[in-house]
Structure 1
Amino acid sequence: MKNLISKLGVISVLIIAMSMAVYAQDKVYKLKMGTTWGKTASPLIDTSIKMAELAKVMSNGQLQIRVDDATKHKSPLGILDMVKAGQYDIGHSASYYWKGKDIELLPFTSMPFGLTAPEQYAWFYHGGGLELMQKAYAKHNVLSFPGGNTGVQMGGWFRSEIKSAKDLEGLKMRIPGFAGEVMAKAGVLVTNIAPGELYTAFERNTIDALEWVGPSMDISMGFHKIAKYYYTGWHEPASELQFIVNKRAYEKLPKRLQEVLVLAFRLAAYDMYILNYDMNAKAWENMKKEFPDIKVKSFPDDVKQILQKANKQLRDEMAAKSPLLKEIFQSQEEYMKEIRQWSIISDYQYIKDNL
């Protein structure tokens, strides 16, 4: 450096340094993102695209993210593996899809009888949830961030009314994941059918009931044309998607762009929550107009008690095998005890008092 200064002079070296800084600021970083969602899976795929757009705008074009939907890579449930391997720099999916690979990742989507969406977001960003999520994903050499919430998912469409726990015995129902295990303990014959085959299976009486998401996504599936009993939710009160980031790819970004990327995640996640809320409201209005005989029901007390008992048994069994899972469950439970009191006297009481 001394020889360079002596040859070019201090001013020349400063000009070179400033030029290099400007070049570094203008450098474009091209990233690839794979999603679990297909082209028409709104608002899920919309959130992936929105995040990429936000990152580009907020970085003044330095972050350019190509979004590949599931029809591109043909592996909707392979996102975690592809991000770990570096095939994709970023993924957009949901933590409970990795239950079979790593049970410790399950709770970051939603848990039966757990936190609502606002409560869960508060837990992530102010109750230690985000730190626990990074701890759980560290072994996979990826980072994970909240990626959009569906809010409370409905309990499903049923051909017949569930009047007591006896009506669950031998009932054939499509309900996947952890909720399916809970239902199985209650006597339900649980099956998992591909989304494209659900309507036909339901129409032909292959199944008696099914769970999907909520009005915004159920309406396009047409389940309300077959069953008239629509049960309120219990199993996914706050289904949070996730943005997964390859750790090496993340660390190659300048700190400023790392911060831009994380902010784009957060903005896109919240945008999905409010978009889906709006879509649910509008879809529900359309459903009621088209099929006014739809009856919204809540499960009887004896059914809820059985489901809560089964849920606790399964959680305790899993926590006994994993100290980290036990820590995550305890964190969620303690935070819910604290925050639920406010939820009850604020939103819940307001709605109840002003119906």
Structure 2
Amino acid sequence: MKRRDFLRTAAIAAPASALAGPLAAPAFAQDAPHIRWRLTSSVPKVLDAIFGANELVSKYVSEVTEGRFIIQNFAAGEIVPGLQALDAVQNGTVEIAQTPLYYYTGKDPSFACFTTMPFGLNARMQNAWFYHGGGRELQDEFLARYNLVGFLGGNTGTQMGGWFRKEVKDLADFHGLKFRIGGIAGQVVAKLGVVPQQIAPGDIYAALEKGTIDACEWVGPYDDEKLGLNRVAPYYYYPGWWDGGPTMNVVVNREKWNALPRAYQAAFEAAVAYANSDMLAKYDAFNPAALRRLVAAGAQLRTFPQSFLDASWKAAIELNAEIGAKNAAFKKIMDAQIAFRNEEYLWWQVGEYPYDSYMIRARTRG
């Protein structure tokens, strides 16, 4: 039996009296409304691992609803600029946006908590916190202020620290550096003398090539190779401590969501959950080969100076305290997230980290 046929057959429980005659088509198929929504993304289509998540969601939502619920996807700039995707959903221009919420820290720093925070949760922890650690409830409470409902729409895994036109060897080298890095992380490095710049993905290459910026961070090898960033900045730094497990958020206009039939809501939630898992799997599968190609093409891998990492850690703690003193929502969310992170690392310290560390050492020994 095909998946769609099974879903249709199971959609309703037919009363015993109905079994005497021919099986009726499920009520879902008989009178379900035809609905067409639009989704705008903050990324260009060339970033297929991210934008492709939208196509998966549309595909499965359409299949499950027998073509009655259609979601049409648009890349950054096709309807609105990438950094205005959330606004377009909030004001009803489109029904859905795929966008990292930390792009909107200018509205409220609390947005960043639901994408990623400096020295925050890794990808698996982000999922665990959202689905089973109270994160979803906190997000729903916060986003209601903006007429939005939010979902996890994907994760890249821990990102790289980015591309630098010149080598940085100690903390002093960061002073005055024009660095494409957004949100809360931008405020952290600003404390260290960095000049943060928030630039949409499609504009990063040109800014780096022209020297408008001295360095940029985006995602990691697979996407960075597509953007060609190695052609204009040779030094490739890691780790991206501000993106330990960054979520690609999906937000829906709350009024539109509440008006959607429950069966369509269920189809959408299931499709987004699958896309969330699939995106991380793609990055884990594609990053190793892309990293090899970048290095073969001349990229020079570097670890961030310890002085920069330590100073960033200290600055991040200070910034969280400063924001939390003025913003009760931010403090509530971050207190919950930090408590969850600390508990998670109890397990990582015993289970995940020792295993991964041993396997990495075993690999290098051959």
TM-score of the aligned structures, taking structure 2 as reference length: 0.85
Is 1:352 paired with 2:354? Answer: no
Moved more, 298-307 or 191-200: 191-200
Other-structure match for 1:14: none
1:123 is displaced (CA, Å) by: 0.5
Superposition CA RMSD, Å: 2.4
Check the 8 A contact 1:37/1:76 in 2, yes or no. yes
TM-score of the aligned structures, taking structure 1 as reference length: 0.87
Is 1:139 paired with 2:120? Answer: no
- Name the CA distance, whole Å, in 1 between partners of 2:36 and 2:229: 41
Is 1:234 paired with 2:234? Answer: no
Other-structure match for 2:336: 331
Residue type of the partner of 1:309? K
Unaligned runs of 5+ in 2: 1-16, 18-23, 361-366
Is 1:304 paired with 2:309? Answer: yes
Check the 8 A contact 2:43/2:202 in 1, yes or no. no
1:196 is displaced (CA, Å) by: 5.0
1:280 is displaced (CA, Å) by: 1.6
- Name the CA distance, whole Å, in 2 between partners of 1:328 and 1:196: 31
**Sequence identity, in percent?**
34
- Name the CA distance, whole Å, in 1 between partners of 2:76 and 2:165: 32
Other-structure match for 2:112: 106
5 Å matches for 1:142-161? 142-161=148-167
Other-structure match for 1:315: 320
CA distance change for structure 1 residues 20 and 342 in 2, over 3 Å: closer, same or farther?
closer
Other-structure match for 1:262: 269
Check the 8 A contact 1:39/1:71 in 2, yes or no. no
Q: How many positions carry a matched residue from both structures?
A: 338
CA distance change for structure 1 residues 186 and 255 in 2, over 3 Å: closer, same or farther?
same
Residue type of the partner of 2:311? I
1:22 is displaced (CA, Å) by: 5.8
1:143 is displaced (CA, Å) by: 0.6
5 Å matches for 1:166-185? 166-185=172-191
Instruction: Choose which of 198, 211, 214 in structure 1 pairs with 2:217.
Output: 211
Q: Secondary structure at the match of 1:271?
A: helix
Other-structure match for 1:15: none
Instruction: Choose which of 117, 125, 150 in structure 2 pairs with 1:119.
Output: 125
1:175 is displaced (CA, Å) by: 2.1
1:288 is displaced (CA, Å) by: 2.2
Q: Secondary structure at the match of 2:54?
A: helix
1:192 is displaced (CA, Å) by: 4.1
Q: Secondary structure at the match of 2:78?
A: helix
Poorly superposed stretches of 4+, deviation over 6 Å: none
Residue type of the partner of 1:306? A
Residue type of the partner of 2:307? D
Instruction: Choose which of 201, 225, 235 in structure 1 pairs with 2:231.
Output: 225
1:237 is displaced (CA, Å) by: 0.8
Moved more, 177-186 or 340-349: 340-349
Other-structure match for 2:4: none
Residue type of the partner of 1:54? Y
- Name the CA distance, whole Å, in 1 between partners of 2:78 and 2:207: 27
Is 1:57 paired with 2:45? Answer: no
